Amino acid sequence: MMKRSTSPPRPAATLGGRYSRRVDRLRFVLPAIALLLLAVVMAWPWLVGGYGGLIVPAFKNAAEHVSDAMRMTNPRYVGKTESAKPYEVTASSAFLDPTDPNRIHLDQLFATFEDGETSQDEGPSSRINLRANEGIYMRGQNRLELEGALELVFGDGYRFNTESAEVDLELGHVVGPEPVTGNGPTGTLAADRFDIEDGGKRLRFEGRVHMTILPLEPQT
């Protein structure tokens, strides 16, 4: 009768050491994969290119530390509305929503919408400068949700303040659901809400609207 040879069982310490090394590897591999996927998501609109409603991110400075790799500093977004009117959005920083990669959080943002045309009927080109403490860019909808000390400055000298607004970048449409106050060359205005269409060519104020018109200064 042949004796069956049996190998001695592996020491528990050896098995434990291999498991620990495997876990250590995963600690480096998984974050690297996550960063790679993040880079692909953020760069995808730039890779496909184009305008006409597609927002194109051009990040000036990437995060310098791995611990801050989820946040981009000084991002700049450029694009055009469906009527080929240019717009630009900049911010002090931006980062992806960890639960939804189509939501990009922006801090201290500044946006510019400009008509770029001049006609005898409509006067000089319209321009809106918009500031907000924070906002969310909805990538799939090409829309901004803005909150916190929102300020809109028009090229003709009018300035309005409110607390929140929604911006449809493709249409150049700004909707403010909260009270708004403003002033300009001809007087002051207050309303419950406002609506701006076509990049600032049409303004509509709704609710309890109060307006004070200043008298014209005599010409000398």
Per CATH, domain 51-213 is 2.60.450.10 = yes
In three-state secondary structure terms, 4 is coil
- Do 145 and 135 meet the contact criterion of CB atoms below 8 Å apart? yes
What's the maximum distance between 2 C-alpha atoms anywhere in the chain?
A: 127
pLDDT digits (tens, 9 = 90+) for 134-189: 999 998 888 999 998 999 998 888 899 999 999 998 888 999 999 999 998 889 99
In three-state secondary structure terms, 99 is coil
Q: In three state form, how does the secondary structure of 32-43 look?
A: HHHHHHHHHHHH
Question: How many Cα atoms occupy the beta-carbon half-sphere of 35 within 13 Å?
Answer: 15
Q: Identify the band that residue 119 occupies on the pLDDT scale cut at 50, 70 and 90.
A: very low
- Do 106 and 134 meet the contact criterion of CB atoms below 8 Å apart? yes
For residue 124, pLDDT over 50 is answered with no
pTM comes to: 0.64
- Do 142 and 53 meet the contact criterion of CB atoms below 8 Å apart? yes
pLDDT digits (tens, 9 = 90+) for 44-94: 554 444 444 444 444 444 434 433 446 788 888 888 888 778 889 999 999
With 0-12 CB in 10 A as exposed, 13-18 as middle and 19+ as buried, what is 127? middle
Task: Please list, in sequence order, all residues whose beta carbon lies within 8 angstroms of the beta carbon of residue 4, skipping any fewer than 6 positions away.
Answer: none
Task: Please list, in sequence order, all residues whose beta carbon lies within 8 angstroms of the beta carbon of residue 190, skipping any fewer than 6 positions away.
Answer: 179, 180, 181, 182, 208, 209, 210, 211
What ranges do the domains of the chain cover? 51-213
With 0-12 CB in 10 A as exposed, 13-18 as middle and 19+ as buried, what is 125? middle
Q: Identify the band that residue 127 occupies on the pLDDT scale cut at 50, 70 and 90.
A: confident
